[in-house]
Amino acid sequence: DLGPYRYYMQKEIFEQPRAVVDTLQDVTSIMPELFGDNGWRVLNAVDSVLLLACGGSYHAALTAKYWIESLARLPVSVEIASEYRYRDGVPNAKTLVVAVSQSGETADVLGALQVAKRQGMHHTLAICNVPTSALARECSLTFFTRAGVEIGVASTKAFTTQLVALFLLALTLAQCRRRLSEQDEQRHLLALRHLPDAMTRVLALEPQIVAWAEQLTRRQDILFLGRGMHYPIAMEGALKMKEIAYIHAEAYAAGELKHGPLALVSDEMPVVAVAPNDRLLEKLKSNMHEVSARSGKLYVFADIDCRIMSGPAIEVIRLTEHHGLLSPILHTIPMQLLAFHAALARGTDIDKPRNLAKSVTVE
Ligand code: F6R
């Protein structure tokens, strides 16, 4: 039942505040048991983290690297599952292997997990939206997001709830390593509880985003820029644009611009920047100047009190609040809406993009 929406993807974008409420339903405090009965034993035994995933879930895993390293001070590596499974990795029996897959049926993720286990890595955690999935059966720990059924092939609410689950994992690992005071725990829980309201306010920016999408829809190529924990969000924005609007889009960590891709920038190449107020904003601003100096048109998603001014070649949409470490979750929403409206203007088959399947159960 689509209700007032034309597409499932659109409905699922707007279901995100509810999906986050549901995912947090049983979370009253941070504790290892959130991840299963063996949570305490397993999460206290690990000295590093390896995240395995594909596609959008890989971007969620990349974001988690920033959170886990910063909060828990554990070394984290993130691997594309289809690469990891055929590489001679160096196993460490004390690594927590986290398989991130909303369907829990992605063949490459299951294959990569088998490889890790065969190499002696038995501390495994599935972050998954489907409790009955193969992945859930294969892992010693589980965390189930409660996004509800996702029908649109392009993942939206499953992605943002994966981020919530991964943030909880970062907090829990920090707690196990005595790096989370009770005060910090309460502060982070409060921020998580407030997230659905904050997301609702971002969704209300839709009319402004529609106007940008209509300009972008005539383009062949788009660059997405981000820095730090928002670089994976820029990657997710570019993936969505390719998947449903069929516009070629690439994401770069903004500091990499001058190492090559700047050569592509001209008045023909629009650049979307994810530019929240964080410690990298000043750096990102200088990267944006590099774009303006080459006549590239900038579309900037900033935060409320950010001093980036609109001008002839720079447009700015401000999110209504800055939400600290949870900012990547809020900044995902405009990426989804931008791709959705570009696809709508192009008249593509949004819920079933050509050549793609919802669950990739073959290699
Ligand atoms: C992106 C998308 C895909 C999936 C990928 C992994 O919108 O939907 O890139 O994220 O196929 O799927 P799961 O999470 O089911 O393993």
Could you tell me the pLDDT band of residue 280, with boundaries at 50, 70 and 90?
A: confident
Which ligand 1 atom lies nearest to the CA of residue 360? Answer: 11
Given this model, what pLDDT does residue 85 score?
Answer: 97
Lowest mean pLDDT among 15-24, 104-113, 191-200, 260-269: 260-269
Given this model, what pLDDT does residue 312 score?
Answer: 85
| Cα separation, 241 vs 37, whole angstroms | 40
Long-range contacts, 15-18 (Cβ 8 Å, 24+): 15/147, 15/148, 15/157, 16/156, 16/157, 16/160, 16/161, 16/199, 16/203, 16/333, 17/195, 17/196, 17/197, 17/199, 17/200, 17/203, 18/196
Mean pLDDT of 329-358: 96
CA-proximal residue: ligand 1, atom 10 (nearest): 56
Given this model, what pLDDT does residue 260 score?
Answer: 93
In the predicted model, what is the mean pLDDT of the chain?
96
pLDDT above 70 as % of the chain: 100
Q: How far is the CA of 155 from the centre of ligand 1 (A)?
A: 6
Residue, of 133 and 312, whose pLDDT is higher: 133
CA-proximal residue: ligand 1, atom 11 (nearest): 55
pTM exceeds 0.90: yes
Query: So what's the ipTM on this one?
Result: 0.98
Which of the residues are catalytic?
Answer: 358
